[in-house]
Amino acid sequence: MSWLDRVRNTIPFIARRDETPDNLWHKCAGCGQMLFVKEYEENQSVCPKCDHHGRIGPDARFDALFDGGIYTPLPMPAVREDPLKFRDQKRYVDRLKAARQATGEQDALINARGVIEGKRAVVGVQDFAFMGGSMGLGVGAAFVAGAEAAIAERCPYIIFTAAGGARMQEGILSLMQMPKTTVAIAMLREARLPYIVVMTDPTTGGVTASYAMLGDIQLAEPGALIGFAGQRVIEQTIREKLPEGFQRAEYLLDHGMLDMVVHRHKLRETLASLIDYLCVEQAAA
Amino acid sequence: MVAFLDFEKPIAELQGRIAELRETAEAGAIDIDAEVARLEAKSQKLLRDTYARLAPWQKTQVARHPERPHLKDYIAGFVADFVPLAGDRAFAEDKAIVGGLGRIAGRRVMVIGHEKGEDTASRLRHNFGMAKPEGYRKAIRLMELADRFGLPVVSLVDTSGAFPGIQAEERGQAEAIARSTEACLALGVPLVTAIVGEGGSGGAVALAAANRVLMFEHAVYSVISPEGCASILWRTGEKAADAAEAMKITAADLKRLGVIDRIVAEPVGGAHRDRAAAIAALGAALADELVQLADTPRDELRAARRAKFLAIG
């Protein structure tokens, strides 16, 4: 355990907003069943009745993924804040502040290093709760930093995507994160290290059209919405109803865009087995 | 006479008066030369002043002007001996992206770009410049071909965005765009891009991860259309002008942000008012960039491209 984990683990647990008494129950977004929050979270936010996979943030993901729930978060790279001085109905800096308060995170992509069933990995998790997981300078820089950490440690980079797309408040600079993250993937390829993508609900827009679709292996969680264009935009363009299950993980699997749809409970073993096959340095022999 | 945009109303009125005067003069025999000359000078000045300070939303309208030159015109203007190449070898030929071999100022190149079309029939044929996965896969194929035979690639971007449709999604629109961006970055030959009209989101960047990115003075390049941004952040598409302003989509803004390298000046009143001059200016700028990148070693081209995009932020 690193010193950072030791410090983290000794800090008494600070009550989160969602643990107030009126949040004792969680209504499943899949089947509408009322579930005990505690029971639901212990099941990794998967509905025990209908298997609906709820959205989870970096902390819950890392806890569930890494051996013993032990991991070391990587520092967030510093980036220019609000480069365009953007304001719509609200100022972007205020939206950022609110997102940071709500999530306790600096931006929408957090990296950590740890061990998955004995295999070392650097893992990045995008948080939909942070401004829809949107990709701007912070996410782009974190992605590059995650890839670089993986290269330095000779281990795979695994990314859990969740995003509405690019962060409009950073304009063209958010679009430029598409080539930027693609450069980081090229560096992983040259280092001959696996780059594994796990798409979670939802993964759309510029994130899908860049690093989410360039994995050596492409996984997705069941039922995850994955696509390039938004469903409303498509409906307005073609003036047709969209087919059942359109842009869901299973639909992408059927159309050849994914290797596997993997239940959240099976992710650890699936990823460990893939690392074992693809990462020669860590092969079980 | 060109089609006037809404913000050009005062200029259109002046031109109307000049036309009226000319008609009157032809009917009677009064001398109107002095008056016409005065009005023409006034109209020119107004045009110059208007275009010297176009707002981002006005530039968007100019960039979308139906009479603005398109890929076909640029190829006819400055690409000699053009040999069009077709198909992605997997599914279809997507005419929203046109590509082929040609010579610019004597240099052999691969030209790839979006084509929006110019009348109803050709717009439908080219799907208004909105490419499907097969379009981007054709672009990848042509880039790789160019790379194999040492031809620099010139890409001309003019799209509102990649096509949003059921079949496009089924065939992997996102994957095709991601791979096309990856192909740009992997090239061992020079890649020079010009944003000539609209640079719309992922559908544009897929052809634009280049060594040098040029942009026409009144072109726009953005992560989402002003209307799209407005409908999400302002909850109404009517705030498009505000969104265009906030997103920083003009050539001058993008040059300041380090996203583009060079602005190509347009004739007074925009490229559509003097198409030949605009086409010639772009051809000259591209030829100049190709000269500067010629003889650069493959590894250096790739490394420079990578360093450039890693540094944006």
Domain boundaries, chain A: 1-52, 54-284
What is the CA angle A113-A116-A121, rounded to 5?
35
Whole-angstrom Cα distance, residue A218 to residue A196? 6
Distance CA A45, CA A53 (A): 6
Q: Distance (Å) from the C-alpha of residue A68 to the closest C-alpha of chain B?
A: 35
Task: Calculate what percentage of chain B has a pLDDT beyond 90.
Answer: 91
**Bind-site residues of A:** 28, 31, 47, 50
B227: helix, coil or strand? helix
Encode pLDDT of B161-218 as tens digits: 999 999 999 999 999 999 999 999 999 999 999 999 999 999 999 999 999 999 999 9
Rounded-to-integer distance, Cα B139 and Cα A78, Å: 35
Tell me the mean pLDDT in the region A162-179.
96
As a whole number of angstroms, the distance between CA A11 and CA A81 comes to 30
**Amino acid A4: pLDDT:** 58
pLDDT for residue B217: 98
CA distance B180 to chain A (A): 10
pLDDT at B169: 96
Dihedral sign for Cα atoms in the order A201, A150, A275, A277: positive
pLDDT digits (tens, 9 = 90+) for A124-145: 999 999 999 999 999 999 999 9
Give pLDDT, residue B35. Answer: 86
Residue A24 scores a pLDDT above 50: yes
pLDDT at res. A60: 96
CB-nearest to A210 from B163, B181, B184 is: B181
CA distance B150 to chain A (A): 21
Instruction: Give yes or no for residue A8 having a pLDDT over 70.
Output: no
Q: Tell whether A182 lies on the interface with B, counting CB pairs under 8 A.
A: yes
Residue A20 clears pLDDT 80, i.e. is over it: no
Q: Which pLDDT band holds residue A2 (cuts at 50, 70, 90)?
A: low
Given a cut of 90, is residue A178 above it in pLDDT?
Answer: yes
pLDDT at A123 over 60: yes
Rounded mean pLDDT of A221-235?
93
pLDDT of res. A19: 47
Query: Given this model, what pLDDT does residue B34 score?
Result: 85
Query: Mean per-residue pLDDT for B74-85?
Result: 98
Q: With a cut of 80, say whether residue B253 has pLDDT above it.
A: yes
Q: Tell me the pLDDT tens digit for each residue of A77-93.
A: 999 999 999 998 899 99
* Distant-in-sequence, close-in-space partners of A190: CB < 8 Å, separation ≥ 6: none
Q: Which of B165, B242, B249 sits opposite A238 (nearest CB)?
A: B165
**Is residue B130 predicted with pLDDT exceeding 60?**
yes
Higher pLDDT, B1 or A268: A268
pLDDT at B1 over 70: no
Whether domain A54-284 has CATH 3.90.226.10 = yes
Quick: pLDDT tens for A34-84: 999 999 999 999 999 999 999 999 999 999 999 999 999 999 999 999 999
Q: Pick B185's closest partner by Cβ from A89, A174, A182.
A: A182
Question: Looking at residue A6, what is its pLDDT?
Answer: 57
Mind giving me the DSSP string for B19-46? HHHHHHHHHS----HHHHHHHHHHHHHH
Q: For A174, which residue in chain B has the nearest alpha carbon?
A: B223
Residue B33's pLDDT is what?
A: 82
Going by C-alpha positions, the residue among B257, B226, B248 that lies closest to residue B239 is: B226
For residue range B284-305, what is the model confidence (pLDDT) as tens digits?
999 999 999 999 999 999 999 9
Residue B21 has pLDDT above 90, yes or no: no
**Which pLDDT score is estimated for B259?**
97
B287 to chain A, closest Cα gap in Å: 25
CA–CA distances in Å: residue B195 to residues A55, A98, A168, B117, B264: 38, 36, 20, 17, 10
Q: Check residue A213 and give its pLDDT.
A: 98
Phi–psi pair at A2, nearest 5 degrees: -80, 165
Q: In chain A, which residues have their Cβ closer than 8 Å to the Cβ of B178?
A: 178, 182, 208-214
Is B162 touching A (CB cutoff 8 A)?
A: yes
| B positions 256-285 inside 8 Å of A (CB) | 257, 259
